[in-house]
Amino acid sequence: MSPMSVLTRDEAQTRAKLLDVHHYGIELDLTRGDETFDSRTVIRFTARADADTFVELKPAELRSVTLDGQPLDPETLDGNRLPLEGLTAGEHELRLDTVMHYSRTGEGMHRFTDPTDGETYLYTQLFMEDVQRVFAAFDQPDLKAVFDLTVTAPDTWTVLSNGITEHLGEGRWKAAPTPLISTYLVAVAAGPWHSVRTEHRGLPFGIHCRRSLAPYLDTDADEILDVTRACFDRYHEKFDEPYPFDSYDQAFVPEFNAGAMENPGLVTFRDEFVYRSAVTDTERQTRAMVIAHEMAHMWFGDLVTLRWWDDIWLNESFAEYMGYQTLTEATRFTDTWTDFGVTRKPWGYDADQRPSTHPVA
């Protein structure tokens, strides 16, 4: 078994010059047991010249691969890289049939069974390179494509993803194809979610959590949705560009590693933000701030995306700035800059004094 390779900036630049990636057709079958799921990917892309390159994946098993209908040897998978050698200039279609592991670490497709009621929930977290644990991809932020997703799951579940996701019946869901987005921003959440749904400015809005937290989400649903609507309207006043996606879902998910993740049209939050006991107004403001921050990313981060990870500082700083400003302007939380001065600035000073500090660009 070869070690996993981390993509370097030079490799990413070389591949971005070579490839124009158009479309991913992804089929996930989430009914294959507790350990693994099936993942089939069809990638359509153009090579601008004759060259060698590679596609990335971290499968439990690579069953088969074809390039333009011709079988490739799955044994050539080297760590997480499948070489595509002797690629000719022009259009190509790559098909991969894989088995993938569920994760228990919040990376890739996380699987959680609620000890309260025994219900199972799945969700993805694909930043920075964990997409490779869910489907095969040319995995770098500047190779954007359309993602077209089909999911097989138990009929009693709800499947959420970036675009509006329709239940076709017989355990099948189909998501509306995304606009051009980066691989790390694709998202799926599947399970018997408790949902509160509404519509705002003609778009479906939803908030979701595991069933055992339903009473707590319901108690705060008005507050969460009020903040969401107010920030949405304020961003529309600030940005010329209309909201770029077809729906806005916010899923509060279990065992999440970060605070939240800005997946286009399906933001995931740690479900500790569904408060189970009395909290201070400062904690409510923190939750509202995270809602505002993630929504800023819909424009800055998701519609417009960093070419490479060295610009993550700008992505995050701008979302932070817009989040604090917008919350102050649009909601009852008008004292947010005090919170910024007390909690965020010392965080920066602390990082700056460490041996690991370095120029941001």
Interacting residues of 198 by C-beta distance below 8 A, sequence separation 6+: 204, 205, 206, 225
Q: How far is the CB of 184 from Zn ion (least distance, A)?
A: 13
Stretch that binds Zn ion, among 31-39, 79-87, 135-143, 308-316 (CB under 5 A): 308-316
What percent of the residues of the chain are helix, what percent strand, and what percent coil, each to the nearest 5? 30, 35, 35
Nearer to Zn ion, 93 or 316 (CB): 316
Nearer to Zn ion, 226 or 320 (CB): 320
The site that binds Zn ion (CB under 5 A) totals a number of residues, namely 2
Does residue 62 contact residue 77 with C-beta atoms inside 8 Å?
yes
Nearer to Zn ion, 134 or 319 (CB): 319
Stretch that binds Zn ion, among 5-13, 99-107, 273-281, 314-322 (CB under 5 A): 314-322
Residue 199 appears among annotated catalytic residues = no
Residue nearest to Zn ion (CB): 319
Supply 238's token pair.
Answer: 């600030």
From 30, 96, 131, 319, residue interacting with Zn ion (rule: CB under 5 A): 319
Q: How far is the CB of 320 from Zn ion (least distance, A)?
A: 7
Which position among 85, 91, 294, 329 bears the catalytic label?
A: 294
Which DSSP letter does residue 200 get? E
Q: How far is the CB of 75 from Zn ion (least distance, A)?
A: 40
Does residue 201 contact residue 226 with C-beta atoms inside 8 Å?
no
Interacting residues of 222 by C-beta distance below 8 A, sequence separation 6+: none
The torsion defined by the Cα of 312, 314, 319 and 322, in degrees rounded to 10, comes to 180
Q: How far is the CB of 112 from Zn ion (least distance, A)?
A: 23
Nearer to Zn ion, 223 or 316 (CB): 316
Interacting residues of 109 by C-beta distance below 8 A, sequence separation 6+: 37, 100, 102, 103, 122, 123, 124, 133, 134, 188
> If binding is defined by CB under 5 A, does position 122 make contact with Zn ion?
no
Stretch that binds Zn ion, among 32-40, 47-55, 142-150, 309-317 (CB under 5 A): 309-317
Q: How far is the CB of 319 from Zn ion (least distance, A)?
A: 4
Interacting residues of 336 by C-beta distance below 8 A, sequence separation 6+: 285, 289, 324, 327, 328
Name the amino acid, one letter, at 230: A
Nearer to Zn ion, 112 or 127 (CB): 127
Q: Which residues are catalytic?
A: 294
**Interface residue list for Zn ion (CB under 5 A):** 316, 319
